[in-house]
């Protein structure tokens, strides 16, 4: 006999309880969510922009092709970064994961720019 | 022109047959497709059809690619799968008899379209 | 841990989807309609329905087009000639005015005219944007500055991509529920509908979203061009497509070489084992100037990767200047294939129909997802609602927006076609008024929805939308009898008959939805013990 399970339904209250930030009060949770959303929209975008800039320079193809390929990959990178931001344990980690590699790549690009 | 029209029909019928065979092996849809007749033959058939399904689906892919070339052919195949699955899901819900009938019809239909394509 | 992951993905899915669903629905619906952009344009120009496809050679057509262009714009910056093909029977000419230096370029500098390919005379057609309205709407929206609109569309598309991926992650029973749709069970049914339209067309949804973002990636993801080309997009595209920059006009007048001769010459060069070749379109830069040049593009051969072959000739001497062969570079081929996948340029009519069906599936996925949210919220607020309190403002807002956007959409789109037949042919800015009427109708539905967002309003609006679509062929037959369905079915054009039939099918589907909405299901059904429901189901089956 077919048993109905609730499939992929998750109620909002359940979500609030299960949210990675569980155990904190309402307002700080709201901040954590807002912070993550910002990390996903802005942080991941900056990370993507910088990583495709680096890719465009290092890919072993003609200049036009490297630029094209890095732009083609950009949305994949962005989507993965967004998922990671929401999957990771805390908003704090999410920001670190976006900003640290971004800073590294920005530094690398700056160096390349000044050497050119 | 007429010839390829027959073959396009066959490509769709193959995809539909493959999907219906898959559904036939699934508990919920098996009942819809057999009117819950639980004979031993149907039970045995239920175990075989999902295996056969992959054969039909591959044949559908092969035919689509030979009609359209590798790129557009794969797209045609995926499109046939999407349209066939939507049709099947709707019929399973609202007219399971029709889903059953069309699945049984599709094999002769495929043969007929091959013959039709040969004659055209 | 795994549950926590799934829960956060479910949260992302819900909010990423809900926040942009109404704009996304508009984008999806407009994009789906754009698959039949040429056919829609033809339907909207009934004056052209009696014209038979031309049998004349492209060289003769080019000659007529050049005469027409010489009369209208002898000192344009560039001319464009688009040859008739299976999907468009007119000979299209197009030109861009030369602007004095320092003048800000606007859209006003572009002009286009449709010619009769056999006579070279302009076709007298009613002013309409036709299918191009949907095409533009799809990524430029309307009433908004183009760049802003494209950012909005890109933002929504990125949300869509994230919603798709998270949707796959949180769907526990993709294969088990592959064909499952259980109507009349409230929330369960909406989830089924959302899943089935999402999963069955998933390859299409992922493809269309990713390639859609790709089409405007130079806008959204500019950094590679910044670091490699100092932000010069033109330099990048020039290098990518191996184009020579168009020469600047010299200012010295000169006589154009025979354009018809160049068409014949191009066909001779391209003539391989493939049989007949044709030109898709041609550009004439700096016509009647000593620095004139003519480039011709070969018509595609229905592959995923368009032929991409083009020839450039000197416009005065007729000497071959530059030849671009079929594309060999893998990355460029990939990008080209992604582009033609999105636009379905390569697709023959059957394949195009499958794209159209998948697009409709996408619209239904978005709409059912949006409704699902409100159904869940209503259940969560069941106690509050049972005690006679109104729903929270958030729920009411989303319910009203859903009603306005979802039930309003068919009404708005149908209004476009009604306006096309009803608005007087001589009306000033007639094409603009066709479009205004779309948004006036939609705004009216949105307002009505805000006023009374209930089941009755859903029913009313769905009936209205459904009947408007169903009646389109009738309207067509009454106001433009020569294009009536029974004529076009027998004598063509096929596209016009296809439009009428599609309109009736869509109308019937919407009426069915309206009828279902009217049959209020008792929510008690879902409270029955599970095995009883299962039994009931078997009995029905």
Cβ distance of C354 and B79 shorter than 8 Å: yes
Per-residue pLDDT, averaged over B39-54, amounts to 82
Residues in chain C within 8 Å Cβ distance of B8:
350
What are the C-alpha distances in Å from C235 to residues A71, B72, C192, C284, C476? 16, 32, 49, 21, 49
Place of tokens 């050679």: C57
If we measure between CA atoms, which residue out of C462, C434, C453, C429 comes closest to residue C136? C434
Distance from CA of B119 to the nearest CA of C (A): 22
Q: Which of A7, A61, A83 comes nearest C165 by C-beta?
A: A83
Instruction: Return the number of other C-beta atoms located less than 10 Å from residue C519's C-beta.
Output: 8
If we measure between CA atoms, which residue out of C166, B27, C177, B120 comes closest to residue A79? C166
Per-residue pLDDT of chain C (541 residues; tens, 9 = 90+): 577 888 889 999 999 999 999 999 999 999 999 999 999 999 999 988 887 778 888 888 999 999 999 999 888 889 999 998 877 788 989 998 888 887 777 777 888 888 988 888 888 888 899 999 999 999 999 999 989 999 999 999 999 999 999 999 998 888 888 898 988 888 899 999 999 999 999 999 999 999 999 999 999 999 999 999 998 888 888 888 777 667 788 888 888 888 888 888 888 888 764 556 788 889 898 888 888 889 888 876 556 665 567 888 888 888 888 787 777 788 888 888 898 899 998 888 889 999 999 999 999 999 999 999 999 999 999 888 888 888 899 999 999 999 999 999 999 999 999 999 999 998 988 999 999 999 999 999 999 999 988 889 999 999 999 999 999 999 999 999 888 998 888 887 889 999 999 999 999 999 999 998 887 654 443 434 444 444 333 333 2
Instruction: Specify whether the CB–CB gap between C412 and C439 falls below 8 A.
Output: yes
Q: Which domain holds residue C472?
A: 2-44+135-215+348-527
Q: What is the pLDDT of residues C372-425, one digit of tens each?
A: 999 999 999 988 888 888 889 999 999 999 999 999 999 999 999 999 999 999
Residue-level length of chain B? 120
What are the C-alpha distances in Å from B68 to residues B8, B9, B38, B62, C299? 10, 14, 42, 10, 18
In a domain, C264, yes or no: no
In a domain, C38, yes or no: yes
If we measure between CA atoms, which residue out of C151, C215, C162 comes closest to residue A72? C215
- Token readout for C315 is 């416009």
Put simply, the chain A residues between 56 and 115 with a CB less than 8 A from any chain C CB are: 56-57, 61-72, 74-76, 78-79, 82-83, 86-87, 109, 112
Q: Which of A19, A53, A87 comes nearest C227 by C-beta?
A: A53
If we measure between CA atoms, which residue out of B49, B68, B66, B53 comes closest to residue B14? B53
Q: What is the pLDDT of residues C450-496, one digit of tens each?
A: 998 888 999 999 999 999 999 999 999 999 988 899 888 888 788 99
What are the C-alpha distances in Å from A30 to residues A40, A44, A96, C263, C522? 15, 20, 19, 66, 37
Residues in chain B within 8 Å Cβ distance of C196:
86, 89
Domain assignments of chain A as residue spans, ordered by start: 23-115
Handedness of CA B62, B66, B70, B71 (dihedral sign): negative
3-state secondary structure C23-45: HHHHHHHHHHHHCCHHHHHHHCC
Instruction: Specify whether the CB–CB gap between C174 and C32 falls below 8 A.
Output: no
Instruction: Specify whether the CB–CB gap between C21 and C366 falls below 8 A.
Output: yes
- Tell me what ipTM this predicted complex has: 0.92
Q: Which of A18, A62, A112 comes nearest C3 by C-beta?
A: A18
Residues in chain C within 8 Å Cβ distance of A65:
240, 329, 331-332
- C neighbour chains, 3+ CB pairs within 8 Å: A, B
What beta strand segments (E) does A18-116 contain?
none
Return the H-helix or E-strand segment holding C322: strand C320-324
Instruction: Return the number of other C-beta atoms located less than 10 Å from residue A16's C-beta.
Output: 15
Cβ distance of C229 and A12 shorter than 8 Å: no
- Which of A86, A109, A112, A115 is best to mutate for the C interface (most C CBs within 10 A)? A86
Could you give the dihedral angle defined by the CA atoms of residues C284, C287, C289 and C293, in that order, rounded to the nearest 10 degrees? 10
Residues in chain C within 8 Å Cβ distance of B81:
200
Instruction: Specify whether the CB–CB gap between B116 and B4 falls below 8 A.
Output: no
Per-residue pLDDT of chain A (116 residues; tens, 9 = 90+): 233 334 444 444 444 444 444 445 677 788 888 999 999 999 999 999 999 999 999 999 999 999 999 999 999 999 999 999 999 988 999 999 999 999 999 999 999 988 87
Instruction: Return the number of other C-beta atoms located less than 10 Å from residue B101's C-beta.
Output: 12
In a domain, C199, yes or no: yes
């Amino acid at each position: 006999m077919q048993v109905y399970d609730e499939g992929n339904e998750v109620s909002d209250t359940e979500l609030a309880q299960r949210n990675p930030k569980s155990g904190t009060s309402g307002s700080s949770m709201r901040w954590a969510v807002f912070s993550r959303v910002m990390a996903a929209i802005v942080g991941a975008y900056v990370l993507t922009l910088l990583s495709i800039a680096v890719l465009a320079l290092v890919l072993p193809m003609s200049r036009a092709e490297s630029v094209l390929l890095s732009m083609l990959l950009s949305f994949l990178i962005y989507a993965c970064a967004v998922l990671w931001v929401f999957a990771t344990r805390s908003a704090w980690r999410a920001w670190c994961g976006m900003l640290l590699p971004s800073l590294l790549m920005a530094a690398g690009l700056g160096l390349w720019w000044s050497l050119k | 022109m007429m010839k390829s029209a027959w073959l396009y029909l066959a490509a769709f019928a193959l995809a539909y047959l493959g999907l219906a065979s898959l559904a036939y092996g699934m508990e919920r849809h098996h009942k819809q497709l057999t009117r819950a007749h639980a004979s031993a033959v149907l039970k045995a058939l239920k175990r075989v059809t999902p295996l056969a399904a992959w054969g039909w689906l591959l044949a559908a892919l092969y035919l689509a690619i030979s009609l359209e070339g590798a790129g557009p052919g794969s797209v045609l195949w995926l499109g046939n799968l999407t349209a066939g699955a939507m049709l099947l899901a709707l019929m399973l819900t609202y007219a399971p008899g029709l889903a059953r009938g069309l699945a049984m019809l599709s094999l002769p239909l495929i043969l007929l379209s091959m013959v039709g394509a040969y004659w055209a | 841990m795994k549950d926590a992951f799934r829960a956060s993905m479910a949260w992302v899915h819900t909010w990423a989807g809900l926040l942009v669903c109404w704009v996304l629905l508009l984008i999806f619906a407009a994009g789906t309609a754009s698959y039949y952009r040429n056919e829609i344009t033809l339907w909207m120009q009934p004056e052209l329905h009696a014209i038979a496809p031309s049998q004349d050679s492209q060289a003769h057509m080019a000659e007529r087009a050049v005469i027409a262009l010489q009369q209208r714009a002898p000192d344009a910056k560039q001319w464009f000639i688009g040859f008739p093909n299976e999907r468009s029977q007119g000979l299209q000419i197009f030109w861009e005015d030369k602007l004095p230096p320092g003048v800000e370029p606007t859209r006003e500098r572009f002009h286009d005219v449709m010619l009769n390919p056999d006579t070279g005379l302009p076709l007298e057609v009613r002013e309409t944007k036709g299918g191009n309205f949907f095409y533009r709407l799809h990524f430029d929206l309307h009433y908004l500055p183009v760049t802003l609109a494209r950012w909005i569309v890109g933002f929504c598309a990125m949300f869509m991509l994230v919603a798709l991926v998270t949707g796959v992650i949180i769907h526990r029973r993709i294969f088990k529920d592959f064909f499952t749709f259980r109507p009349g069970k409230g929330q369960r049914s909406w989830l089924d509908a959302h899943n089935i339209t999402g999963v069955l067309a998933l390859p299409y949804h992922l493809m269309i979203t990713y390639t859609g973002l790709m089409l405007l990636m130079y806008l959204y993801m500019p950094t590679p061009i910044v670091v490699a080309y100092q932000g010069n997009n033109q330099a990048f595209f020039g290098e990518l497509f191996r184009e020579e920059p168009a020469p600047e006009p010299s200012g010295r007048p000169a006589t154009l070489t025979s354009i018809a001769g160049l068409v014949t010459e191009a066909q001779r060069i391209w003539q391989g084992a493939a049989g007949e070749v044709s030109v898709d379109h041609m550009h004439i830069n700096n016509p009647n100037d000593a620095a004139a040049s003519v480039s011709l593009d070969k018509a595609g051969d229905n592959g995923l990767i368009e032929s991409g072959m083009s020839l450039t000739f000197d416009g005065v001497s007729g000497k071959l200047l530059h030849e671009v062969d079929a594309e060999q570079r893998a990355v460029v081929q990939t990008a080209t294939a992604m582009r033609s996948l999105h636009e379905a340029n390569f697709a023959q009519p059957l394949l195009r129909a499958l794209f159209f069906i998948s697009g409709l599936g996408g619209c239904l996925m978005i709409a059912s997802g949006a409704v699902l949210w409100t159904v869940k919220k209503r259940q969560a607020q069941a106690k509050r609602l049972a005690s006679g309190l109104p729903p929270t403002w958030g729920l009411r807002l989303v319910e009203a927006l859903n009603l306005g956007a979802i039930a309003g959409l068919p009404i708005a789109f149908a209004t476009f076609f009604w306006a096309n037949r009803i608005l007087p042919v001589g009306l000033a800015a007639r094409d603009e008024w066709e479009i205004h009427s779309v948004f006036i109708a939609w705004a009216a539905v949105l307002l009505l929805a805000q006023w009374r967002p209930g089941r009755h309003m859903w029913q009313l609006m769905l009936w209205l939308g459904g009947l408007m679509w169903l009646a389109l062929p009738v309207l067509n037959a009454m106001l433009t009898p020569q294009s009536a369905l029974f004529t076009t079915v027998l004598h063509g054009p096929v596209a016009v008959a296809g439009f009428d039939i599609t309109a009736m099918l869509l109308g019937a589907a919407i009426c069915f939805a309206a009828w279902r909405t009217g049959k209020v299901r008792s929510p008690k059904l879902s409270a029955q013990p599970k095995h009883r429901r299962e039994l009931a189901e078997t009995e029905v089956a």
